[in-house]
Structure formats: C-alpha cells, structure tokens
Amino acid sequence: MKPKVYITRKLPSEVVYEIEQHCDINMWEEEDVPVPQEVLEENIKDIDGLYCLLTETIDDSLLQKATKLKVISNMAVGFNNIDVEAATKRGIAVLNTPGVLTETTADLTFALLMATARRLFEAEFFLRDGNWKTWSPMLLTGQDIHGATIGIVGLGRIGEAVARRAKGFGMKILYHNRSRKPDVERELDVEYVEFDDLLRKSDYVVLLTPYTHETKNLISSRELALMKKTSILINTSRGGIVNEAALYDSLQSGVIWGAGLDVFEEEPVSLDHPLLQLPQVVALPHIGSASIQTRLKMARLATDNLVQLLKGKKPEYIVNPNFSENITESVKE
Ligand code: DGY
C-alpha cells in the first residue's frame, strides 16, 4: 500500500505526477487560496506525509491530530511556520528546500536594494501619472550603490550570494553572523563587525537571517536610531525580524532614508498598513525566490525530500536537530 500524503496547494502537474508515483495523494486544489485550517485539521488525521507551504501554520495543536504523520515537507527554505520542537517530540521529520533558491533570492534582494536606492517605482509612477515635465537637476534623486557600504546580517548561503553581487558593484561589505566565516572573509573580502557597528557604518543594512525567537524584532527603535540618516533597510527574510511600527516612525521622522521590504509580519500585508503609505518604502509580495525555474526546483526538491523519507531513506535536508539517526526506525513503525 502506498503512503498517504496531503498537499496543501495546487502544484504544477509534473510535480503532482512525480508524487503520485510513490504516494496516494489528496490535494487542496486552489492555486491562490491557502487551505483553511479546518480542512487541514481533517486531512492531517490519517496521513503519512504532509507537503506544505510557508502559508500553513503547523503547530502543536494541529500535530496532536496527526496519528501517523512521519514527515512534513515544506516547500521553502524558511520553516518558522512549523513548530519543529513539537514535530521532533512526535518523531515527525521536518524537511526544507535550501540551496536551490539561493541565487534567485540574492538576485531579488539586490534588485530591491537598487529599486529602493534609485527610487525606481516612484519614478515609474511619476512618468505614468504624467508628471514628467522636464529634466531637472535634483528630480527623483536617490542614493549611490557603487562604492557604498553594505552590511549583511546573516551570512548564510543567500548572504554570501548577495555579497558576491555587492562585490561586483564595488561596495565595501560588512557582515554580522552567529559565527565568523574566515574562508568567506578571505574569498569575498568581507569584514566581520559587531551588530551595532554594522548598523552604524552601513549605507545598506540587508537582513538575511532566519526568523527565530532570537531574531524577532531584531530591528527596532534602538537599532534604527544607530543607522545613518541616509541609510536603507532591506528585508527579504521574514517580516517579524523588523518591528514595523518602529520602522514606520523612523522613516517618517527621517531617522533612516528608505526601506525595501519583500516580507511583512502579516502576509498578505493590509493595503492600509502605514508602511505602504510612505513613498520611500518599496514593498513586494514575498517574491524572493519567484522565478519559474527556481520555484520548480523548490517543488521538486520538496517532492524528493518527502518521497525519500517515506521510503525510509535519509533526505538531503532535515531541519530537526539530530533527527537523521532515527529515520528508518520512525518510518518502519
Ligand atoms: C523561503 O523559501 O523561505 C522563502 O521565503 C520563499 O522562497
């Protein structure tokens, strides 16, 4: 008998086909609407595997209903939507999709930095609204990117890929990370600095750290006050890392110059959110990894992860600490 799997969003047919070769599937058929929690609660009861997205909250109370769940395969590198501790306690593997989205997310991060610095969207609306009357010396002037200092908070895979792009633009690169990375420092000419120093010295502060209890509201009034008046904050990680009320106040009162945000505390962000009322904010709908090629790679990797685990094999990426040793045991049960 094939293992039973629930898929929480309509996936491309080639991906569904691949999962069907190994599993009996049931899928939420909507493309643009997340599965309602009560539907998920019903479906999780007797499945072996769950294929989900970052839009699903997989918490302890949901997992209590899962009687035979062995694996949660998240089609994302971030897994803050899943209570990993609760899953681990129940012997459920949590799998994610790092690696395949690194370069695409770094591309978007850099594009967002450039769009914010050079006011690209404001300029576009200015033209389309018929406001372009003449060339004028200080019209729509922004901040220079070349030669500026970028401070990367979280030098993981994506942080390194952003550093490579910054190097190409002749930027000075600072970073702060839980651990120092001497090899990367040598290879990319990046300098490790304490967190407050990074905030003080950078023209661009780029957040690429995972969202955890420690990084919740990492950027709030104190941190923003340390930043330069001309600086720009870029967040392509998770919205909760920034205290949005503090960011609004700082932008409004000129404590910092601008912000490029691909992520928000509540997603989708409400259209009357104060940050969306500010012209110096460039706001995107969480599209860091959104290229056709990369989203397909993520979907396939999440599939491989799921299938491998259900076959009792060790998938490439397991989120639960020290979980791998127990896999075959937990799958056999
Ligand atoms: C992730 O994978 O965590 C991104 O936020 C979506 O690609």
Same fold, 4-99+292-332 and 102-283: yes
Q: How far is the CA of 289 from the centre of ligand 1 (A)?
A: 6
| Residue 323 scores a pLDDT above 70 | yes
| Residue 332 scores a pLDDT above 60 | no
Is residue 122 annotated as part of the catalytic site, yes or no? no
Higher pLDDT, 314 or 232: 232
Q: How far is the CA of 333 from the centre of ligand 1 (A)?
A: 32
pLDDT digits (tens, 9 = 90+) for 4-20: 999 999 999 999 999 99
| Residue 183 scores a pLDDT above 80 | yes
| Residue 329 scores a pLDDT above 70 | no
The answer to whether domain 102-283 has CATH 2.130.10.10 is no
Tokens of 106: 């770094």
- Protein residue with its CA nearest to atom 3 in ligand 1: 78
The dihedral sign for the CA sequence 112, 114, 117, 118: negative
Mean predicted lDDT score pLDDT of the chain: 96
Higher pLDDT, 302 or 333: 302
pTM for the structure as a whole: 0.95
The residue-averaged pLDDT of 169-176 equals 98
| Residue 36 scores a pLDDT above 60 | yes
Ligand 1, residue 237: give the atom nearest the CA: 5
Ligand 1, residue 79: give the atom nearest the CA: 3
Measured from CB, residues less than 6 Å from any atom of ligand 1 are 54, 76-78, 101, 288-289
Q: For residue 326, name the pLDDT band (cuts at 50, 70, 90).
A: low
Q: For residue 333, name the pLDDT band (cuts at 50, 70, 90).
A: very low
Is residue 22 annotated as part of the catalytic site, yes or no? no
Q: What homologous superfamily does CATH list for 4-99+292-332?
A: NAD(P)-binding Rossmann-like Domain (3.40.50.720)
Higher pLDDT, 219 or 331: 219
Q: How far is the CA of 53 from the centre of ligand 1 (A)?
A: 9
Give the residue extent of every domain in the chain: 4-99+292-332, 102-283
pLDDT of residue 324: 67
pLDDT digits (tens, 9 = 90+) for 212-243: 999 999 999 999 999 999 999 999 999 999 99
What are the beta bridge partners of residue 6?
A: 26, 50
Q: Catalytic one among 286, 295, 325, 329?
A: 286
- Protein residue with its CA nearest to atom 7 in ligand 1: 289
Q: Beta strands of the chain (E only): which ranges? A: 4-7, 24-27, 49-52, 71-74, 93-95, 149-153, 172-176, 190-192, 204-207, 232-235, 258-261, 281-283
pLDDT of residue 41: 98
Is residue 267 annotated as part of the catalytic site, yes or no? yes
pLDDT of residue 331: 47
Q: How far is the CA of 76 from the centre of ligand 1 (A)?
A: 4
- Residues contacting residue 175 through CB under 8 Å, at least 6 positions apart: 151, 152, 153, 155, 159, 163, 181, 190, 191, 192, 193, 198
| Residue 328 scores a pLDDT above 60 | no
- DSSP code string of 20-65: HTTSEEEE---SSSPPPHHHHHHHHTT-SEEEE-TTS-B-HHHHHT
Q: Catalytic one among 9, 119, 165, 238?
A: 238
Higher pLDDT, 323 or 258: 258
| Residue 125 scores a pLDDT above 70 | yes
